[in-house]
Structure 1
């Protein structure tokens, strides 16, 4: 007897359950198996275009674009951008840098790297909750977990709280997509609000 449609889907459902993915189809990137996200991203801005490591490359390091504190009368934006530093294997000499859209303020930090050929596999975002009485900054910092269990915290700012970790990629991160609020003139700017990361298997 020919197995029904449900029988053909069962192995896929079991695989997804076993790997604990929070799967989402990324806009325009249906060829990639999974997207990892967090639940505490800021509410402002729009999703930019995804940017991917070259085929066969995985993110082994990252750097952040951060605006320092602007003082009592200034408009703080804190975290403005995230770059992934992609490598093939464990060779750091052949590095490709990718970033989705970034905010207008701040400077890029030096990269932080996983050790010994490990890859970035999960992340946690530090976000300041929206307020109606003060200066909103949205995302302030990010932590990454490497495939060997090491955790790397970026040189962002300290406002807000780190949320829960994303689900892990089975092998490594290979791309990202940022949610950015563009410059608002004399209104309150927040720049980077959220990020999602892409998982690749090979």
Structure 2
């Protein structure tokens, strides 16, 4: 069962559900400014993201670059690697999906975005790559592009990341396209494991 924030609000009318499923939004301060926020997509209740994949457009030479176009979370039950469920918010039009990148033991708990600064009259790309921290202390980096610096890490989730919402610029026709501009991730907690 895939949940949206409105579904969670409805579920929270029932204290038994809310008592075991609390949500915290984590974000970073360096996201891009273009595009609209897409829908929030959540892993099923009791699942956390144990890996991720990215949709990346390779460098286009003298043509328009967009770099990172989407992020997909690979969710599993907290104590299992059975029954994978993937979630993606808004997806940009350009590029191809990478293979999943996994936490060896554990799950995703924090993220950081590599964002190219504004280029003025040049070719803007916004988010070029993403990296995650795992609960086993490993850091994972996507196979994105190298333009721009990484910003600070988000706050860390105690239980694990379980949802995503992204800001993506629509195709601009003959104008400068970017792609993924910003992301918010969602921490879920299960009081029975805390």
TM-score, length basis structure 2:
0.86
Deviations 1:106-132 (A, max 9, x none): 00000000012x010000000001121
CA distance in 2, matches of 1:34, 1:93: 25
Instruction: Name 1:134's counterpart in structure 2.
Output: 122
For residues 179 and 27 of structure 1, the distance between their equivalents in structure 2, rounded to whole angstroms, comes to 16
Q: CA RMSD in A?
A: 1.5
- 1:3-54 Cα shifts (integer Å, max 9, x gaps): xxxxxxxxxxxxxxxxxxxxxxx97565652100000000101100000001
The number of residues matched between the two structures is 175
TM-score normalised by the chain length of structure 1: 0.83
1:51-200, aligned counterparts within 5 Å? Answer: 51-72=41-62, 74-116=63-105, 118-200=106-188
Gaps of 5+ in 2: 13-21
Looking at CA atoms only, which structure, 1 or 2, has the larger radius of gyration? 1
Aligned to 2:37: 47
In structure 2, what is the Cα distance between the partners aligned to 1:167 and 1:83?
20
